Chain A
Amino acid sequence: MQKRVVFRSRLLPYLLVAPQIAVTVVFFFWPSYQALESSFFLEDAFGFSRQWVGLLNYTELFDDPGYLRSFRTTLIFGLSVAFLAMSLALALAVAANRVVRAATSYRTLLIWPYAVAPALAGVIWYFLMNPSLGIVAYWLQNAGVDWNHYVNGDQALLLVIVAAAWKQISYNFLFFLAGLQSIPRSLIEAAAIDRATPFQRFWTITFPLLTPTTFFLLVVNLVYAFFDTFALIHATTEGGPVDATSILVFRVYSTGFVGQDYGSSAAQSVILMALVIAMTIVQFRYVERKVVY
């Protein structure tokens, strides 16, 4: 049974939510509106004058092969990050679920990366992989891999994928572990009696029963990779070399602040907003319907 607290004053509840509303309006709705507005104007670099251009900023974007390439890069980046972060997290969660049903120390250790700020995560990997300083780059070179993400675009993309995935593993791990622990042990035992090998038990029982968790995490990871990795890329590759790691969010920044094309930058952020909204809707609809199996 849920207990409801009823306020005596009608004003108090509004007062209590006012700060949150104010923050949302000032830091979210207002800039969003401004972005939407600017996306229909052409503005000079110093902001002295602007001119209504309708959808020109948008049509130009979709004619720009660089922007379309960014779309592709974002997709590759997002899917790779989600896949890598989720599969590693699942493997760790399965191991943890098996070894220590209750022990929390192992779990705590695995949560640490999540507490690291994205920019710092980027810097850590930047140092590890730095062609002249980095220990991992040194190992790779010893192993015969010519590692230089300053020159090689694929390597640069790989670097940001690994760094972004690493940071997300702990989050995924927690959800997978919780998901695994909510699967009744008797199901796995019944499967063992039904002669399923541990491998079969995982793929025919455990994994299908984790579907709700997996789907939820897929959306969360994609949202993270698409929109939350700006600081990480900024700290490691700055979108380069050339355009190789310039995902959509990074492009908003480079077009606006480096290229000083505010109209186009605003249009890009509106497109990104639409993307976030779409993904959020997918997730909410899914959460409403809940169980899928």
Chain B
Amino acid sequence: MAELSITGLGKTYPGGVQAVEGVTAEIADGEFIVLVGPSGCGKSTILRMIAGLETITTGDLLIGDRRVNNLEPGDRDIAMVFQNYALYPHMTVRKNMEYGLKNEGLPRSEIDARIAEATRTLRLEDYLDRKPRQLSGGQRQRVAMGRAIVRDPKVFLFDEPLSNLDAKLRTQLRAELKALHKRLGATFVYVTHDQVEAMSLADRIIIMNAGRVEQIGLPMDLYLRPATRFVAEFIGSPAMNFVEGTVDPDRRSLAVNGSHSLRFAEPLPAEPGHKIALGIRPEHLTEVPAGALSMELEVDFIEQLGADTVVHGKLAGANSPLAVRLHGVQAGAAGSVVTLGCEMDNLHLFDLGTGQRLN
């Protein structure tokens, strides 16, 4: 079967750039895995090592139960969709899709059957005799997927396949990708820097930072219990608020900026004197000043999104930036003060130095 086992994977480029370090992950057969992280964190490098386009510096890579570290890309039973599509510009759509099958030496009837099937799935019937340059971005992306599908590989690799498309098309193709994954039942490894894409597509997410894995988990795990401050900040939009401070001896208040302090209904799960970053998602703050904590927000400006209103401002007396996401259309003026509350369960505590989760 097509599970993917990655152990201690590392990559040092000639010239000394250590792009990936000690990445370990088990990917189940038929899983949709999304590798997400900021630009330059090593996502493409991992994908390219899986594909066989970059040599593996350290670690082991198994597809099924075969160690593929030293296999040629063509022998790994994978297919890849590139960000720039990488369609052969001098070949028609049909020729593009045939190319790999011919190289495999499949009989004509089999080739035609597979192309017919993929063409139907991706609604490419009308474009088979066109050259890539005669197609729109979305159509090219479909052809690139078609070229992967006809190969019938165990593992599909995608490197930011939607990032060259406009927002509307991106949403549409996202849905198609999800449906395609369901139909094919193959293992998908998908790279993106867009957390929304990651959350909406993934069975599980691998979130990376500077060549290392920060956390692996279900999208909701990453949202509800981010393991590090980095993950907490990366997942969710608008981004999580952070208030930095020192836990007081009674553990019921947090000294922010020395003068100002926040009081909590229950003791904080952190040692007295510990320097922490308290994380609260904008959507978890409410205007009802109940719950575990009450705080005051000095309004700077308001973003009306229609369904929601995002109020941006500062924690009164402490200067930490703070954003709140409120339901519906809300009024508010710059300079006014809003009192906000938050449930204890929605507080995230991170060590200020290491960024590790404390609660």
Contacts and interface: CB of A to CB of B under 8 A. Distances in A.
Contact of A190 (B72, B75, B88, B90): B88
19 contacts: A186-B82, A186-B84, A187-B86, A189-B73, A189-B80, A190-B87, A192-B52, A192-B53, A193-B53, A193-B74, A195-B75, A195-B103, A195-B104, A196-B99, A196-B103, A204-B99, A209-B89, A209-B90, A293-B89
Instruction: Pick from B52, B82, B86 the residue with the most CB of A within 10 Å.
Output: B86
Contact of B74 (A184, A196, A205, A293): A196
B86 A192 contact: no
Contacts of B100: 193-195
B103 A189 contact: no
Contacts of A193: 51-53, 73-74, 78-80, 100
Interface string B314-333: 00000000000000000000
A208 interface: yes
Interface of A is mostly: helix
A84 interface: no
B53 A187 contact: no
Contacts of B82: 186, 189-190
Nearest to B151: A194
Given A194-B74, A195-B74, A196-B74, A189 B99 contact: no
A31 B288 CA distance: 96
A200 interface: yes
B88 A187 contact: yes
Contacts of B147: 190, 194
B53 A189 contact: yes
Contacts of B72: 192
Nearest to A201: B103
A75 interface: no
A209 B82 CA distance: 19
Given A186-B86, A190-B88, A195-B74, A200 B80 contact: no
Interface of A: 184, 186-187, 189-196, 200, 204-205, 208-209, 211, 293
Nearest to A205: B88
Nearest to A190: B86
A260 to B, nearest CB: 54
B58 to A, nearest CB: 22
Contact of A194 (B52, B53, B90, B99): B99
A191 B95 CA distance: 12
A285 to B, nearest CB: 20
A191 B103 CA distance: 10
Q: Lowest 5 A-B CB distances belong to which pairs?
A: A194-B100, A293-B90, A195-B74, A186-B86, A195-B103
Contacts of B99: 191, 194, 196, 204
Contacts of A204: 99
Contacts of A186: 82, 84, 86
A293 B78 CA distance: 29
Interface in B197-224: none
B89 A192 contact: no
Nearest to B54: A189
A189 B104 contact: no
Contacts of B75: 195
A148 B100 CA distance: 52
Given A186-B82, A200-B103, A192 B73 contact: yes
A186 B78 CA distance: 15
B48 to A, nearest CB: 8
A293 B51 CA distance: 29
A194 B90 CA distance: 16
Nearest to A292: B90
Interface string B64-79: 0000000011110011
Interface in B101-119: 103-104
Nearest to B159: A186
Nearest to A194: B100
A189 B88 contact: no
Nearest to A183: B89
A208 B104 CA distance: 21
Contacts of B89: 187, 209, 293
Instruction: Pick from A184, A189, A196, A211 the residue with the most CB of B within 10 Å.
Output: A189
Contacts of B84: 184, 186
Nearest to A209: B90
Nearest to B104: A195
Given A187-B86, A196-B103, A200-B103, 13 more contacts: A186-B84, A189-B73, A190-B87, A190-B147, A192-B72, A193-B73, A193-B78, A193-B79, A194-B103, A195-B75, A195-B100, A204-B99, A211-B90
A200 B72 CA distance: 15
A135 B75 CA distance: 50
Instruction: Pick from A184, A186, A190, A293 the residue with the most CB of B within 10 Å.
Output: A190
Nearest to A187: B86
Given A186-B82, A200-B103, A192 B88 contact: no
Contacts of A191: 88, 99
A192 B86 CA distance: 12
A190 B79 CA distance: 9
A22 B190 CA distance: 65
A186 B82 CA distance: 7
B86 A184 contact: yes
Contacts of A211: 90
Nearest to B99: A194
Given A194-B74, A194-B100, A194-B151, A189 B86 contact: yes
A86 B72 CA distance: 31
B340 to A, nearest CB: 49
A189 B81 CA distance: 11
Contacts of B104: 195
A193 B75 CA distance: 8
Contacts of B88: 187, 190-191, 205
Contacts of B103: 194-196, 200
Contacts of A187: 86, 88-89
